[in-house]
Structure 1
Amino acid sequence: MKKHLYKAIAFCVMALAVTSCSSSDSSNGTPSDPNQDLINKLSGGSSRTWYWAAGETGHIGYGENSANNGINYYGNIDQAAPFEFANNPQTGCLYDNTLTFDLQNGQLRLTVNNSGSTLFNGGYVVSHGGTGTTDSCLPYTATGPKAVTLGDSDSYVTQSGVAGRTTGKALTIADGGFMGYFAGQSTYEILSLTNTRMTVRAVIGNDPSKAVYHTFTTTQPTPPASENFTNLVWSEEFNTPGAPDPTKWSYNTGAGGWGNNEQQYYTNSAENVVVADGKLVITAKKQTLNGSPYTSARLVSDGKFNFKYGRAVIRAKLPVGGGTWPAIWMLGQNYATAAWPSCGEIDIMEHVGNQQNRIFGTLHYPGHSGGNANGGSQVIPNVSSEFHEYSVIWNTDVIKIFADNTLIHSVANDPSLPFDHNFFFILNVAMGGNFGGNIDPNFTQSSMEIDYIRVYQ
């Protein structure tokens, strides 16, 4: 995830009490505190619990903190898809958080129950005992309750004066408190607040050029049933030595660049594809065949196995060498009548030897294909020396691609995209091409090994 910001916010605060700078109006009995309506909505008048609005797009968002009125009031850089952080040990702790605002002797307080784990912004992971720069769940006990004070906001959003974008108020949590996602910030501008829904904005503590957005609700959201794929419906364990199982796999063979100026000739030879020692082995070799300088293999489950929605998990070890381009991906089974990219393509794993250890997860569809595809990447150590699990969670609402427990990319799914029909698997190792790049002249051969493929629904 990204880091985020915010400008200084001025408050009119009295110690251990939520107050304003206005005098009371005793003539008509109205509250003297102009923040009283906010206090009542936050606390429900006594105590109110809030949950992450995980079912909404943008329940966490990231955007620029600047004077640009056109973009500074929402997550213009990134918005989380519904339940994007679920089913991922690296980020899933976020949804275990609850926030309870209560009133105690006139003092507004906040208690965060995080079950002992907090999602830390990538810029703070190392300083709190983790590694890397990716948002991560780390052990952390959020103590409470903590006093909360309310005051006027002086953010860029407030300064813009555009109606409906902010309440113009902000809350500050005492003693370094925060609202469930640690970003080095204790002050949050309240953009909108009702009795059941709240959106706040805060500047990332170590990057004042960016802002983070949180949306909460008083009703705990429930993940779609299709998020919990646990029923194994198909698997390939590669336990029978020899050629791949013909009831599950066939071959794409030949040369022609495969649409990407690739250099290999695909064969069905055991030199290029074989099942041995409980693994499928696809080997790219420096070997001239029919005018192509390299040979390799490409297996497809086209017409033998396909599925719509589920969780696919593939355990694999990848080849090494400049120019190698292994891929584990899926193509719409309707490709014969809906020509690519209209049929849709889900790249669960791509790796190129010229960017060793960087794993790519990508979707191709009309308007987003080829070099303009919708994808992301993460560095995963030792992908060519160790086995890792590459997986996709795919349902009506979202497509999420993982390497082990690291989210590589997530895209909100909807009926306008071609991901509502059956897809089949493709396993291959290409050489060179538009994405594979220059081939190391010293390359002789290297293999992708796949231990298993499992599909759950």
Structure 2
Amino acid sequence: MPQEFLPSLLGGFSRGATSRGDWIWPAIWMLPVVNTYGAWPASGEIHLVESRGNHTYEQRGNNIISSTMHWGANSDTDSYWRTSKKHASLHNTYKAGFHKFGLEWSESYLFTYVDSRLQEVLYSPFSEPQWTRSAFSSRKGKAVLVDPWSQTGRDNTPFDIEFYLILSVAVGSTNGWFEDGKSGKPWVDNSPLAIADFWAAKDERYPTWIDGKAQMTIKSLKIWQQYS
């Protein structure tokens, strides 16, 4: 049986500003140190905050952030849509100034917020086994699904193991993060020429990246643990 993650509370926050620029994808996220329960997403993934650099409402741009937890028996059963929430900036974009992006993670819940704990983004309680919560079918097509978490007897599995932190600024994607046909997107995800089409439009997007706009600026990063 996998050993339970010892800290009863893992908290932290990043004081920073997200990126601005067409087709920029800034994120602060976490992956398991060891895939204890199997390949992604069986061992979980946590997105404290992610956004889009585009300054446009149609593309849900840099005035909106989201927090997401990925978990499932396999990639086809990723239940991120049950644990994903968005939060809009009240007065400006998240690039316009510094913000506190916070995470509280315990054996009872996972909670993210922006600037203040009163501004909740995602709250996900571990009040029942994740397998039960997912309402997975006993069969997915012809493949029998097996609960990868039942041996622990804990409701917070797979979010009961150690994760490491990632601060990243990606460019483009072909996984749907930028929707086809929106905001003048110059490529189509499923096209075999997606990368070439993205590169061909470089003169259109480059002016939105210059003068440090596309940078993710971090002022401070703090992490602490409380042991039981």
Pair in the same fold by TM > 0.5? yes
- Whether contact under 8 Å (2:70, 2:80) holds in the other structure is no
Letter in 1 for 2:17: K
Shift of the 398–448 alpha-carbon distance from structure 1 to 2, 3 Å rule, reads same
Give, in whole Å, the separation in 2 of the partners of 1:307 and 1:317: 32
- 2:219 aligned residue: 451
Give, in whole Å, the separation in 2 of the partners of 1:369 and 1:449: 31
Give, in whole Å, the separation in 1 of the partners of 2:218 and 2:10: 20
Letter in 2 for 1:399: L
Residue 113 of structure 2: SS of its match in structure 1?
A: strand
How far is the alpha carbon of 1:375 from its aligned partner? 0.6
Runs (5+) with no aligned partner, structure 1: 1-305
- 2:62 aligned residue: 356
Per mean C-alpha deviation after superposition, the further-off stretch among 441-450 and 329-338 is 329-338
Q: How does 1:290-369 map to 2 (within 5 A)?
A: 308=7, 309-335=9-35, 338-353=38-53, 354=59, 355-366=61-72, 369=78
Residue 443 of structure 1: SS of its match in structure 2?
A: helix
- 2:121 aligned residue: 408
Give, in whole Å, the separation in 1 of the partners of 2:14 and 2:160: 22
Give, in whole Å, the separation in 2 of the partners of 1:450 and 1:370: 30
Structure 2-normalised TM-score? 0.60
State the identity %: 24
- 2:194 aligned residue: none
Partner of residue 171 from structure 2, selected from 419, 431, 435: 431
Show CA shifts across 1:267-296 (max 9, x none).
xxxxxxxxxxxxxxxxxxxxxxxxxxxxxx
Q: How does 1:179-328 map to 2 (within 5 A)?
A: 308=7, 309-328=9-28
Show CA shifts across 1:313-371 (max 9, x none).
11111111231111001111122762111111110000012322101011111166376
Shift of the 370–396 alpha-carbon distance from structure 1 to 2, 3 Å rule, reads closer
Residue 38 of structure 2: SS of its match in structure 1?
A: coil
- Whether contact under 8 Å (1:316, 1:448) holds in the other structure is yes
Number of equivalenced pairs = 152
Runs (5+) with no aligned partner, structure 2: 54-58, 128-153, 180-184, 187-200
- Whether contact under 8 Å (1:310, 1:456) holds in the other structure is yes
Give, in whole Å, the separation in 2 of the partners of 1:410 and 1:404: 15
Matched, 1:395 2:101: no
Matched, 1:386 2:86: no
Give, in whole Å, the separation in 2 of the partners of 1:397 and 1:413: 5
Higher RCO by CA contacts (8 Å cutoff, separation 6 or greater) = 2
Give, in whole Å, the separation in 2 of the partners of 1:321 and 1:436: 13
RMSD over equivalenced CA pairs, Å: 2.5
Give, in whole Å, the separation in 2 of the partners of 1:371 and 1:450: 27
Letter in 1 for 2:66: F
Structure 1-normalised TM-score? 0.31
Show CA shifts across 1:20-76 (max 9, x none).
xxxxxxxxxxxxxxxxxxxxxxxxxxxxxxxxxxxxxxxxxxxxxxxxxxxxxxxxx
- 2:148 aligned residue: none
- Whether contact under 8 Å (2:19, 2:62) holds in the other structure is no
Residue 177 of structure 2: SS of its match in structure 1?
A: helix
Give, in whole Å, the separation in 2 of the partners of 1:371 and 1:344: 10
Give, in whole Å, the separation in 2 of the partners of 1:319 and 1:360: 14
Letter in 1 for 2:205: F
Shift of the 352–319 alpha-carbon distance from structure 1 to 2, 3 Å rule, reads same
Give, in whole Å, the separation in 1 of the partners of 2:99 and 2:19: 13
- 2:192 aligned residue: none
